[in-house]
Amino acid sequence: MLVYHERHDVIRYKGHHSASKNPWLSQRGTNSTKESSAKITHTLKIILVHGFTQNAESMSPFANELEIALKAVPMSAPLSNSHEEDPVASLTPQLEPLHITASTSTPSLALYRFSPSIYGIDLPGHGMSSSIETGPWETARLLGEAFGRGIYIGYSMGARICLHLALSYPELVEALVLISASAGIENDNVRQARKSSDDEMAKALDEGRPDLATFLERWTEQPLFSTLPDHAKMTEQRMANTPSGLASSLRLCGAGVCDPLWNQLGALKMPVHCFAGTLDSRYTYYALRMARLIGANATVSLIPSTGHACYMERPKLVSSLISNLI
């Protein structure tokens, strides 16, 4: 059952549960019955995971808005000093990349710190990680090894990776925020057709037809991004990617090669919050369906008058909503 809520003109739905057992609060060990006090009581670690053709720098405007929103919301208890070793503690706020290798056989991913509590990453095939070639499960493992336990916020392809992480290493995911996410293409024929399409696109990238600038222009001009303002397309940041890296990402992490995970969603026990833009009807449906399958620990926020990249179109609103949930 989904319960209807409305806040800041956002349509919100929350999984049904008894008042004595609020999953958003029990996960954090508090006896309060107020949702606004459902704040983690230790040092925040929030990891932003970008979508296809983006990179960590593309997430900078949203990271800034999220940091402002987090400072505006009082915590349920003072932040305590964490004695847990922080694998990226030596990163600086200037977005200086640091390559961390978990073992001699593990590829190094570019990690970033936006602020003392917000981190980012260049996924394989993107940015400073363009030469790394891994599929969704391996990418999820590398993500978890790099950052450890934290709150993972993923957008589109990044949301798929975060979902893989939550299913394979649930102990590392304190809370999960999925923006414009799907749990995969269920129909075998449709999934194979998507794979073939992605493979063709990857081949064209490898052959330089078109060049990177033209490819990115065509990508952001898709109907999926028709409501995204030009300034929010972050074209300059996307140009830090390479044709070969994006081609590899399409082949190894595209929607056509990812197994559908719908029947595994019920295994998620951490708080999960799904976002979608109201103008993106397909992903609005996915968000609502995912919440139903996950259960009482899931909620949905539908952002008015926005499309697929709702967090880029209304970053202040999305940041405010997230800050009040974590």
pLDDT in tens, 160-188: 999 999 999 999 999 999 999 999 999 99
Q: What is residue 86's predicted lDDT score, i.e. its pLDDT?
A: 46
pLDDT in tens, 30-80: 222 223 223 333 478 999 999 999 999 999 999 999 999 998 865 443 333
SS3 175: strand
The mean pLDDT value of the chain amounts to 83
DSSP string, 226-239: TTS-GGGG-HHHHT
Q: What is residue 43's predicted lDDT score, i.e. its pLDDT?
A: 72
Handedness of CA 14, 17, 18, 24 (dihedral sign): negative
- For tokens 């056989």, the residue is 105
User: Does residue 23 surpass a pLDDT of 80?
Assistant: no
Domains observed in the chain: 2-81+88-188+259-325 (3.40.50.1820), 189-246 (no CATH)
- Band the pLDDT of 10: cuts 50, 70, 90: confident
Q: What is residue 297's predicted lDDT score, i.e. its pLDDT?
A: 97
Cβ–Cβ under 8 Å, residues 161 and 139: yes
User: Does residue 228 surpass a pLDDT of 50?
Assistant: yes
Handedness of CA 79, 84, 85, 87 (dihedral sign): negative
Find the range with the poorest average confidence among 8-17, 229-238, 245-254, 282-291.
8-17
Distance CA 316, CA 136 (A): 30
Cβ–Cβ under 8 Å, residues 176 and 169: no
Distance CA 120, CA 137 (A): 19
pLDDT in tens, 272-309: 999 999 999 999 999 999 999 999 999 999 999 999 99
Distance CA 192, CA 76 (A): 48
Handedness of CA 111, 114, 118, 123 (dihedral sign): negative
